[in-house]
A and B are shown apart, each in its own frame.
Chain A
């Protein structure tokens, strides 16, 4: 397993202060490994964007980080030496140094993130002017052209303004901007949600090819779990501000452990097999101001037991899950069904087919893309 590049421990985020405060992210734990694509999925309002902005310190008021650690293991491109950076303690100067050049973000709405009055080419050369002052204008331009070519934008588009581009091309420009300084981490918040499937697929293909070439790690946020399963190496499922399950993508798909993960999976109609009526997840997520006691999912959970209504289940490692879970594994869930006091119901206790052997290499798997 590759080395971690980002570690998040117990991250808490509130909106507002004092009595008015509501907690949008509670005790989030994540490990992002070098060259890995980590997906974050969950319903609208589950805290995906809040988490992403908090760990890059891009959170705006009234959002406040109220606890936890975020450690960035920065590796020098020249020496290969790794430095630990405490991002939550970093001052403005340090943040400016890492943000964009080492940790880049592609925002949920590309249209708002591009400068409407700057030509495509200048959007990129401006980034270089600020972060790579040692480069000549000539070099900056060459680099911008090269980067745009890598994301599939022809040189004849360099002088276009954002509004002259299709949504797919704007999204490509955003990705080029995020990658131009060769960051170690790219955080993408719903980068392709507004696009047509063909365009979405093309952009994701390009992203994966670039990841294999440049070796950056990706945090990919989306509500589209079926897309994420194809794309991500591992997935974190969020509900009501909490991570309720973390697993390898294939494990999550074939053998989910949390009832909410199962519900999300059964909200996406399949392209194959018998057509059967699906019921998805009844009800809707709680509001931040009125969180239920106990397990936050219990009002919607078909498996809820007495203790679920009063005690909140901790995120725990599934030790009896064989090779992939176990010590050092990443397979965790927060659900009382897996505390060993009962056998989990069949849909939540399925053996993962690849349990005995190491997971089969997936396209763009870790092992290929990391050193």
Chain B
């Protein structure tokens, strides 16, 4: 986590992930890559499960692990019919007990898809999820064990609770389904749960309906319901972004308490990088379906290595900033139907080089437990590969995804209700 070790390591990229091919042109390099790395310029082809695993390093078996997760959504209607949305591409990460991992990125970067893959709500196109080191079975019992161990908290505190049912119903139902507790024991457990999320005294809340609660209180009930069956893993998808400022911090602090108090493995999905820094042990930065950088939270915000992370940080509100920030990499993320070849960030990247447009960069260590997938960290490139891609780097300021693909993706996403 120390800055010194990061600096000394980032100067000397760790070799071995790329064959040395300094004399090759970028074009030929694409074809001469070692067989071990199956990555191609062809963007629709999923890459081989990469060796890099993101998430906090802890000894022992992580509560939840994703290995080479891929999700391609087929498009059933609209202009992109027959094509796929490359929502998540080859992500390996661990969520150890007693840690919080923040996943940050612009909207459409695949954060929610990753969270839904981890809950088992949607099936991966490739890769697998391991609970306590074991692949998740397909039988009903295995499913039930999984759903009682892994809980998802959604962004919208209105939609996550059923408006026709009381708080009591929401808490009691999972206890009935997943435990053998008797009535009195259930009542006691419900009281404890509400206390756990600071809704006290419990009897004031048990018979309330969601509309009688504030946004923060609803989110607490949603979390309490998640805790009812003693989960090991909490997946929180933008749990505070729809809450008012003063309530947000309370929910973040609750997640912080649960990390130590319940030894939960938490994934905190957010677009607010300052809150990720506040809460998380590790930050994972996603761009266009891929992880571009990950590492210890303060390391990522204080010494961001990837140009995209640097862009996110320069755009984030920061009252301590003395001068107006200079944004490097304007515009919006690309369409995921036809993601850009090479580094997916290259159409926006102010540092893009020739090689970036044709070959996708592998994540490389740039500090202790800190990796970044960017050709700038590579020492093996030749002068031609390093040639600036100025034409594309200064491309159109906005609208990298065309109106047609935006509309088509929105349509496709609307049509897919498997999420809920």
Contacts and interface: CB of A to CB of B under 8 A. Distances in A.
Q: Is the interface of A mostly helix, strand, loop or mixed?
A: loop
A268 B253 CA distance: 13
Interface in B271-330: 271, 273-275, 277-278, 297-298, 301-302, 311-321, 323-325, 327, 329-330
A268 B246 contact: no
Contacts of A227: 317
A199 B245 contact: no
B396 interface: yes
Interface residues of B, number: 52
A226 B319 contact: yes
- Interface size bucket, A side? 35 or more
Contacts of A160: 403
B246 A280 contact: yes
Given A168-B398, A169-B398, A230-B321, A271 B274 contact: yes
Interface stretch (A16-24, A121-129, A150-158): A150-158
A307 interface: no
B397 interface: yes
Contact of A272 (B247, B320, B407): B320
Contacts of B253: 277-279
Contacts of B214: 284
A4 B188 CA distance: 62
A160 B249 CA distance: 40
Contact of A197 (B275, B278, B312, B396): B312
A198 B248 CA distance: 22
Interface in A221-280: 223-227, 229-230, 253, 263-265, 267-272, 275, 277-280
Given A164-B403, A269-B275, A284-B214, A264 B316 contact: no
B274 A268 contact: yes
A169 B396 CA distance: 14
A275 B277 contact: yes
B274 A284 contact: no
A226 B319 CA distance: 5
A338 B316 CA distance: 34
A152 B253 CA distance: 39
A82 interface: no
B107 interface: yes
Contacts of B216: 284
A198 B403 contact: no
A271 B245 contact: no
A269 B278 contact: yes
Interface in B79-103: none
Contacts of A350: none
A223 B245 contact: yes
Nearest to A281: B246
Contacts of A263: 246
A371 to B, nearest CB: 22
A27 interface: no
A225 B106 contact: no
A278 B301 contact: no
Given A165-B403, A279-B249, A197 B397 contact: no
A43 B246 contact: yes
Nearest to B326: A205
B341 interface: no
Contact of A280 (B249, B316, B325): B249
Most buried by A among B216, B317, B399: B317
Given A199-B332, A269-B277, A284 B320 contact: no
A44 B244 contact: yes
A163 B246 contact: no
Interface string B387-419: 000000000111101011011000000000000
Interface in B328-352: 329-332
Nearest to A227: B317
A284 B247 contact: yes
A108 interface: no
A79 B316 CA distance: 42
Nearest to B325: A201
A63 to B, nearest CB: 21
Contacts of A272: 302, 318, 320
Contacts of B321: 230
Given A223-B244, A284-B246, A196 B106 contact: yes
B4 to A, nearest CB: 18
Nearest to B403: A164
B250 interface: yes
B315 A271 contact: no
Given A166-B332, A198-B315, A230-B321, A152 B327 contact: no
A200 interface: yes
B253 to A, nearest CB: 7
A197 B249 CA distance: 19
Interface in A344-366: 363-364
Contact of A168 (B323, B324, B332, B403): B332
Contacts of B302: 272
Contacts of B323: 363
Given A44-B244, A264-B246, A284-B247, A271 B327 contact: no
Nearest to A263: B246
A84 interface: no
Contact of B313 (A230, A267, A270, A271): A271
B246 A197 contact: no
A43 B245 contact: yes
A52 to B, nearest CB: 18
Contacts of B297: 275
A278 B249 contact: yes
A152 B275 contact: no
A278 B256 CA distance: 11
Contacts of B327: 198, 201-202, 205
A153 B244 contact: no
A252 B132 CA distance: 49
Given A271-B318, A275-B298, A157 B245 contact: no
A278 B316 contact: no
Contacts of B244: 43-44, 223
Contact of A153 (B245, B312, B320, B398): B398
Contacts of A43: 244-246
Contacts of A268: 245, 274, 317, 319
Contacts of A196: 106-107, 271, 332
Given A43-B244, A226-B319, 18 more contacts: A152-B398, A165-B406, A196-B271, A198-B311, A198-B329, A202-B327, A230-B317, A230-B324, A268-B274, A269-B249, A269-B252, A270-B318, A272-B318, A275-B278, A278-B249, A278-B253, A280-B249, A364-B324
24 contacts: A43-B246, A44-B244, A168-B332, A169-B399, A196-B332, A197-B312, A197-B316, A198-B106, A198-B330, A200-B315, A202-B327, A202-B397, A223-B244, A223-B245, A226-B274, A226-B318, A230-B321, A263-B246, A264-B246, A267-B246, A268-B319, A271-B318, A277-B256, A279-B253
| Closest CB pairs A-B (n = 4) | A269-B278, A229-B319, A227-B317, A280-B249
